[in-house]
Amino acid sequence: MIDPYNVLERASAHIREAGARVAHVSKASIHEKNGHCNYVTETDIAVEEYLKSELPPIVPGSCFFAEEQENEALTDAYTWMVDPIDGTTNFIMGRHASCVSVALLRNRIPVLSIIYQPYLDELFTAVRGHGAFLNGRPIHVSDQPFPKALTALGTSPYYAELAHATAYCFERFLTKGGDIRRVGSAALDCCDIACGRADIYFELRLSPWDYAAGALLVTEAGGKFEMPYEQNIDFGKSACVLASNPLCYDDALKILQDAKPLIPSGL
């Protein structure tokens, strides 16, 4: 068994260093990946390599699962789930809305999360069963009801076939709820839900490294995190995700369920 607070302290130091390396880059060297508007930069790769060298030794025998490498299937072993720069397009455009997102999984579920927004020096942390924190202070989801809810969305830009369903959801969250925001980083969207800066977040398809750390942060802050189109949450797969305060969840889930017929089968 690990000492989660010792792991949190040691991993946080390296994630802060990773964030500093991101924030100090003024012009990123960009490469295209498969999928519309799917980019990776040399900074993504360098930061991932840095974390790959520093995180596994903190938990001997742990695995490393990350965005910019080929990954084996998840096992029950301790596994670092890493997005070296979540919000890569924001990073490329100089929008200062990106983060380093790291979860430690055991038995295929997150037990520890660290998300660092280097431009604001905001470190979000959670240990399963022990709450969620921003720079060491406890955070909690909002108590905003659905008719006034601020909904953050991800547009799944790599999947043009999801645009129609995403627009359907956009219109309903805007007309039945409150206003909309598109941050460009799923992990930062989850941080916003966890500290009450937004009330709902959804994205019709998202990768495990984008949501794994944010999922634990949201639930430890009193929120709900689910995969509306799956029987059970599976942190090893890309899926539709919904994060919300408890008051908004049922209304938000209904909109996503109503949108499902608009999504091509097999996606």
Residues that bind ligand LIP (CB under 6 A): 67, 83, 86-88, 154-158, 185-186, 203, 210
β-bridge pairing 239-244 and 30-32: unpaired
For ligand LIP, the closer of residues 185 and 244 by Cβ is 185
Residue 61 CB: number of other CB atoms within 10 A?
7
Q: Which residue has the tokens 């390296």?
A: 14
- What does the block give as tokens for 169? 């959801």
Least gap, CB of 129 to ligand LIP (angstroms): 26
User: For residue 47, what is the enclosing H or E element?
Assistant: helix 42-54
DSSP string computed for 245-259: -TTTHHHHHHHHHHH
Nearer to ligand LIP, 83 or 220 (CB): 83
Are 204 and 166 within 8 A, CB to CB?
yes
Supply the minimum distance, in Å, between the C-beta of residue 147 and ligand LIP.
25
Three-state DSSP class for residue 267? coil
- Sign of torsion, CA 2 116 53 62? positive
193, two tokens: 């839900």
Nearer to ligand LIP, 59 or 216 (CB): 216
Cα separations in angstroms, 263 against 98, 144, 198, 258: 28, 29, 26, 10
Nearest by Cα to 108 from 83, 84, 73:
73
Nearest distance from residue 73's CB to ligand LIP, in Å? 21
Tell me how far, at minimum, the Cβ of 109 lies from ligand LIP, in Å.
Answer: 20
67, 209 Cβ separation under 8 angstroms: yes
Closest distance of CB 183 from ligand LIP, Å: 8
Closest separation in Å from C-beta 241 to ligand LIP? 9
**Which of 84/196 has CB closer to ligand LIP?**
84
